[in-house]
Amino acid sequence: MTRVLTAAAIITGLLAVLYLPPVALTMAVCVVLLLGWHEFNTLCQKLGAGIAAAPGALLAIAVAAAFAAGPDTAVITLLVAVPLLALATLRDHFDNPAGLTAAMAAGMAGLAWLAVPLGAQIGIRHEPRGAAWLLFLYAVVAIGDSAAFYGGTRFGRRRLAPSLSPKKSIEGSLFGILGSAIAGVVAAHWLPGLTYVEGAIAAAVLGLVGQAGDLIESALKRAAGQKDSSDLLPGHGGVLDRIDAHLPAGAVLYAALRAGWLG
């Protein structure tokens, strides 16, 4: 019941910010990013790669929020954020070359894995029919995740990536992709200009990329010796546990929209 109530609260809040003015989503994403950055830093510290926590969080938020002004502004902000984060990391590890290397890599990974993909979702909101496209993203990833879980539980035999996530199976992964594709076909009915075939293909790709994001976070948690990224969300773990699949999927969808492949 706790898990269901938490999920209901998340979905209600998400729908609310999606259909408010775009600034509402920007603010919500920045809060999520701040929480996610804290969880990411905690995991990195357990791996001996503590990043510049406060400067890193502020720079990550700046990069993500810059997507509201368009991709050009986001790229410029990222180019400024990278050397600034490097300087902040150097300050924290000036007398520890080995720690500096690990922390530098972790900080840059945080910008690439958290700030840019979450910023891409802000960018999607500013695209034509942006709220509908975000709903498409969240729906196909969530339905694919559920289909993978139930399909894997019922039919899973062959392990997908036992060293990263022992419970995931190849069969579950295939069910997940199929579930996302079906969701894409249904969603295409409400997205003008998107054919059923395009909806199915786009959703299947997002589902597949989302599974990769899930495995990346699983690998990070496994290396750090944690089951969940935190216990912030009752019954669901942490923020990273909820957004891991949406990170790469959101970035891919934003790229597809900007390139004119969809919409």
| DSSP annotation string for 127-149 | STTHHHHHHHHHHHHHHHHHHHH
245 and 228 fall within a common domain: yes
Can you read off the two tokens belonging to residue 90? 């150097």
Q: Taking residues 49-63, what's their average pLDDT? A: 91
**Claim: this prediction has a pTM higher than 0.85:** yes
pLDDT given at position 5: 67
Residues 83 and 187 both lie in one domain:
no
Same domain membership, residue 249 and residue 194: yes
For residue 2, pLDDT beyond 70:
no
Instruction: Among 54-58, 80-84, 192-196, name the one with the lowest average pLDDT.
Output: 192-196
* Helix (H) / strand (E) containing 167: strand 165-169
Residue 2 located in a structural domain: no
Q: Is 14 a residue whose pLDDT tops 90?
A: no
Please report, for residues 26, 68, 141, the alpha-carbon distance to residue 21 in angstroms, rounded to integers and kept in the order given: 9, 12, 24
Predicted pLDDT at 1: 60
CB-CB contact of 37 with 57 (8 Å) = yes
Encode pLDDT of 111-136 as tens digits: 999 999 999 999 999 999 999 999 99
How many CB atoms neighbour CB 258 within 10 A? 16
What's the number of domains the chain is made of? 2
- CA–CA separation, 79 vs 211, rounded Å? 29
Other Cβ atoms closer than 10 A to 183:
25
Using CA atoms, how far residue 233 sits from 6, 111, 237, 250, in Å, is 7, 23, 5, 22
- Residue 4: what pLDDT? 60
Q: Which domain holds residue 108?
A: 21-126
Q: Are residues 66 and 157 in the same domain?
A: no
* Amino acid identity, position 163: S
* Of 92 and 154, the one with more pLDDT: 154
The answer to whether residue 107 sits within a structural domain is: yes
Q: How confident is the model at residue 252 (pLDDT cuts 50, 70, 90)?
A: very high
Helices (H) and strands (E) in the chain, counts: 11, 2
Average pLDDT, the chain: 91
Tell me, what's the pLDDT at 16? 85
Question: What is the pLDDT confidence band of residue 175, given thresholds at 50, 70 and 90?
Answer: very high
**Claim to verify: residue 85 and residue 135 sit in the same structural domain:** no
**Inter-CA distances, 194 with 174, 180, 206, 240, Å:** 24, 16, 15, 31
- 172 and 150 fall within a common domain: yes
Please report, rounded to a whole number, the percentage of residues in the chain having pLDDT higher than 90. Answer: 66
